[in-house]
Structure 1
């Protein structure tokens, strides 16, 4: 089965632009109660994943950076410690299982790398749970 059947589309996914500020990213994480967000660049391409930990470590390790001036620090400058590997919209569900073990979500892109949405780990697990036979 193709991943397109399980796509949670971009217009329903919380994500952050790489040009957004650290403050905006933190607000998105808090608003949606997520621990990580996909990052999309100004061309619409998947550019990585930003986690709560990335923000906390950046706050700790950046002299002069505080909650008050986080709005001046771009997401693009934050060191990312999670690498959620993306897959093509044409990938098969069999390709998802190994990724689901290490990723909360799998970013889905088109042939040009444009971010289309995500496949959530819970949907991958549900697919396999429904298809397991003795």
Structure 2
């Protein structure tokens, strides 16, 4: 099974351009209650994931930076402390699972590195849970033992 089965398309998720400001990121993340969102450049390429932690570290480590003047800081100026590695649309479920161990979502790009959506860890866990349940039912049916 490949990534396309789990893909949530770009049009249905929250993402930000790296030209957005810290304030825009903070407000959008608060509104949607997200702790991380994908970042894209002006060409639509995936360039990373911005997290609440990244924003807090920037606020802490920038003298004189307050919430009010976060509108002057572009996301391209905020260091990303965690790199969420993307997969291509033709990747297999195994590629997703290894990333989902440390990422809430896995960014998906096309063969030109254009961001096309994400796969959330939740859908991967639900899929694996269904597979395990199916195997348990099959084993029970074969042995007659519940």
State the TM-score, normalized to the length of structure 2: 0.89
Q: Deviations over 1:70-106 (max 9, x none)?
A: 1010000001111111000001112111111100000
**Which structure 1 segments of 5+ residues have no match?**
none
Q: 2:42 is paired with a residue of what secondary structure?
A: coil
The 4+ residue runs of structure 1 with deviation greater than 3 A are none
State the Cα distance separating 1:129 from its structure 2 match: 1.0
State the TM-score, normalized to the length of structure 1: 0.97
Task: Provide the residue aligned with 2:144 in structure 1.
Answer: none
Task: Provide the residue aligned with 1:59 in structure 2.
Answer: 59
Partner Cα separation in structure 2 for residue 65 and residue 112 of structure 1: 37
Partner Cα separation in structure 2 for residue 28 and residue 83 of structure 1: 20
Q: Deviations over 1:51-75 (max 9, x none)?
A: 0011111001001211111101000
Q: 1:39 is paired with a residue of what secondary structure?
A: strand
Partner Cα separation in structure 2 for residue 89 and residue 23 of structure 1: 32
Residue 110 of structure 2 is aligned to residue 120 of structure 1:
no
Partner Cα separation in structure 1 for residue 94 and residue 55 of structure 2: 33
State the Cα distance separating 1:119 from its structure 2 match: 0.1
Query: What is the RMSD of the two structures over their aligned residues, measured on CA atoms?
Result: 0.8
Task: Provide the residue aligned with 1:71 in structure 2.
Answer: 71
Count the aligned residue pairs.
Answer: 134
Task: Provide the residue aligned with 2:85 in structure 1.
Answer: 85
Residue 75 of structure 2 is aligned to residue 43 of structure 1:
no
Q: Deviations over 1:24-51 (max 9, x none)?
A: 0001100110000000111100010000
Query: Which structure has the greater CA radius of gyration?
Result: 2
Q: 1:99 is paired with a residue of what secondary structure?
A: helix
